[in-house]
Structure 1
Amino acid sequence: MVTFSIGQWRAWAPEMRDAESWMQWAAHPYCPLADYESPPLGFLTPMQRRRLSPMARMVFDCAWPLADNRPPMPLVFASQHGETTRSFALLQAMGRNEGLSPTSFGLSVHNAIAGMWSIVRGDKTESIALSVNSDGLEHAFMEAAFLLRRGARSALVVLAEERPPPAYVPWIDDVPFSYAVAFRIERGTQWRLERHQDESNIPQLWPNSLNFVRHLCLGSPSLLNTSGDRHWLWTRTA
Structure 2
Amino acid sequence: MVLESSLTFTVLRWSRWSARAGSGGLCRQCGPEGLQERQLEAPDLRHIPPLKRRRLSPLARAVFHTLNYCDPDAELPLVFSSAMGEINRTHGLLHQLAVAGDISPAAFSLSVHNAIAGLWSVQRNNTRPMQALAPRARSPVPALLEAIGQLHEGCDSVALVFAEEDYPDFYAPWLESPAGPSALALCLGSGERDAVARLRLQFAGGDSAPDSGGNAGALDRLLAGEPAVRIDEGGCSWMLEHVA
Query: TM (normalized to structure 2)?
Result: 0.81
**Residue by residue, what CA displacement relative to the aligned partner does 1:14-65 show, whole Å, maximum 9, x if unpaired?**
1352239xx9xxxxxxxxxxxx975252221111111111111111111111
Instruction: Report the count of equivalent residues.
Output: 222
Secondary structure at the aligned position of 1:13 is classed as strand
TM-aligned CA deviation for residue 198 of structure 1: 7.8
1:142 matched residue in structure 2: 145
TM-aligned CA deviation for residue 199 of structure 1: 7.0
More helix by share: 1
Alignment of 1:31-180 (within 5 A): 39-69=43-73, 72-97=75-100, 99-173=102-176, 175-180=178-183
1:216 matched residue in structure 2: 223
Query: Contact conserved, 2:139 with 2:231, CA < 8 A, in 1?
Result: no
Alignment of 1:186-225 (within 5 A): 186-188=189-191, 190-197=198-205, 206-217=213-224, 219-225=225-231
Q: Distance in 1 between matches of 2:206 and 2:97?
A: 46
TM-aligned CA deviation for residue 192 of structure 1: 0.9
Q: Distance in 1 between matches of 2:216 and 2:77?
A: 20
TM-aligned CA deviation for residue 166 of structure 1: 1.0
Q: Distance in 2 between matches of 1:204 and 1:81?
A: 16
TM-aligned CA deviation for residue 200 of structure 1: 8.6
One-letter amino acid matched to 1:45 = P
Query: TM (normalized to structure 1)?
Result: 0.83
1:7 matched residue in structure 2: 12
**Residue by residue, what CA displacement relative to the aligned partner does 1:56-92 show, whole Å, maximum 9, x if unpaired?**
111111111111147x111000111111100111112
Query: Contact conserved, 1:174 with 1:207, CA < 8 A, in 2?
Result: no
1:184 matched residue in structure 2: 187
Q: Distance in 1 between matches of 2:202 and 2:154?
A: 21
Query: Contact conserved, 1:78 with 1:158, CA < 8 A, in 2?
Result: yes
Q: Distance in 2 between matches of 1:197 and 1:132?
A: 18
Query: Contact conserved, 1:195 with 1:233, CA < 8 A, in 2?
Result: yes
Which of 235, 238, 241 aligns to 1:232? It is: 238
Q: Percent identity?
A: 33
One-letter amino acid matched to 2:156 = R
Q: Distance in 1 between matches of 2:179 and 2:234?
A: 18
One-letter amino acid matched to 2:8 = T
Unmatched 5+ stretches in structure 1: 24-35
Structure 1 runs, 4 residues or longer, greater than 2 Å off: 36-40, 174-178, 197-201, 203-207, 227-230
Q: Distance in 1 between matches of 2:208 and 2:86?
A: 34
